[in-house]
Amino acid sequence: MNFGFTEEQELLRKTARDFLGEHAPMRHVREFMEGPQRFSRDLWKRMAELGWLGLALPESFGGAGLSMVELSIVLEELGRSLAPVPFLPTMLAAFSVLETGDEAQKREWLPGLCSGRAIATLAITEERGTEESGGIACTATRAGSGWELRGRKLFVPDADVADWLVVVARIGAGPGLGLFCVPRTAAGVSIGALRSMDALRQLQRVDLEGTQLPESSLLGANTDAWPKLERVLDRGRVMICAEMVGGAEKCLEDSVQYAKERVQFGKPIGVNQAIKHKCADMLFEVESAKSITYYAAWAAREDNAEAPLAAAMAKAYVSDAYRHASAENIQIHGGVGFTWEYDCHLYFKRAKSDEAWLGDGSHHRERVAQMLDL
């Protein structure tokens, strides 16, 4: 295994960083955070033109046919910039279709995502607040030649701007779970905003009140899709980790820069041992987070037997690392770190949002213990 990035991957990183620096500067991000529009459609279109939306999807559906490693590189750069686009939720939905759908369904749903014509998201979490199979109460029952969905999904990211949702539902009263492609405008679908800590990634409540769907809406005609969905969720955790790595690295860079510029008693605050130690600890955590994330991305690319364990380990470690880095960034900035004008709070809120998404550190440490029979 080569632990270094290839020349092509380094070029992808540089291209992504330059592009986002030009088209998604922080002043641009704040305009969407504070304005009426939810995200930048112009930026979304440009990302589609660059091929990012289909980066890790097969060429036969309009993608680039690359891997989780290349996708993680782009997500890392998006995490640095906090770009106002529903990229990660759309990738989760795309992988759900790719993993569980049949050929006809993939051809129906994936090309629109790759081209940027469509936006999607995954709706799984319910009242119990977990992404475990036992927490799914939403039901899908037979209705004529199709299906009827009833239930409520919570904390669904960007559901209000998605064209369709992948909804996880229990098939009848049995233990089997299915994944359904549900258009946002379908009858019986209602979406309401929830209070979100992260203003750049809104969460919604999705109510399904007798939503009628055709037979073809059930991905892969599979009434026991949970094993395949677990693979999707593990890849989703790797993607979230990549985003967190980018944000944590930006927090470290901003902290070091401020420590050099801020002068107290005639000296930069960076000469103080307490500040040096904070920055050193952040550097250790950021580099460790990057290593474990890209190992998990490699394991997912290779479909390695350790992929689920690597994803759980990464989500456990990187969740804590980003939260700590974003909090230390505020502390190093001192009083101004708490103000709206500085960007520290934006990264702290994203860190808390990403930490909870698909399981926090405590949840995944327990998963790691179970996988290792500890």
What is the model's pLDDT at position 35? 82
Output 133 or 15, whichever has higher pLDDT. Answer: 15
- pLDDT band of residue 297 (cuts 50, 70, 90) is very high
Q: Please check whether residue 235 lies inside any domain of the structure.
A: yes
Contact 88, 240 (CB under 8 A): yes
pLDDT (tens digit per residue) in 149-199: 999 999 999 999 999 999 999 997 778 999 999 999 999 999 999 998 999
Residue 197 resides in a domain: yes
Which amino acid is it at 297?
A
Whether residue 367 is predicted with pLDDT greater than 60 in this model: the reply is yes
Domain contains 91: no
In this prediction, residue 2 carries a pLDDT of 61
SS3 helix, strand, coil % of the chain, rounded to 5?
A: 55, 15, 25
- CB burial of 215-231 (b: ≥16 within 10 Å; e: otherwise) equals eebbbbebeebbebbbb
Q: Which tens digits make up the pLDDT trace of 341-358? A: 999 999 999 999 999 999
Task: Specify if 90 maps to a domain.
Answer: no
Last residue in a domain, options 221, 253, 278: 221
DSSP 167-229: EEEEETTSS-EEEEEEETTSTTEEEEE---S-TTS-EEEEEEEEEEEEGGGBGGG-S--HHHH
pLDDT of residue 310: 98
CATH code of the domain in which 125 resides: 2.40.110.10
Query: pLDDT per residue over 263-282, tens digit each?
Result: 999 999 999 999 999 999 99
CATH of the domain at 60: 1.10.540.10
Give the model's confidence band at 3: pLDDT under 50 very low, under 70 low, under 90 confident, else very high: low
Q: Which domain holds residue 15?
A: 7-85
How many other C-beta atoms are found inside a 10 Å radius of the C-beta of residue 283?
A: 15
Q: Where are the alpha helices (DSSP H) in 262-272?
A: none
Residues 278 and 167 in one domain: no
Q: Three-state DSSP class for 147?
A: strand
Place 44 in a pLDDT band, splitting at 50, 70 and 90: very high
Q: Is the per-residue pLDDT at 1 higher than 70?
A: no
Rounded mean pLDDT, 107-135? 94
Q: What is the mean pLDDT of the chain?
A: 95
| Shared-domain flag, residues 208 and 232 | no
List the beta bridge partners of residue 156. Answer: 204
233 and 322 co-located in one domain: yes
Indicate whether 63 and 158 sit together in one domain: no
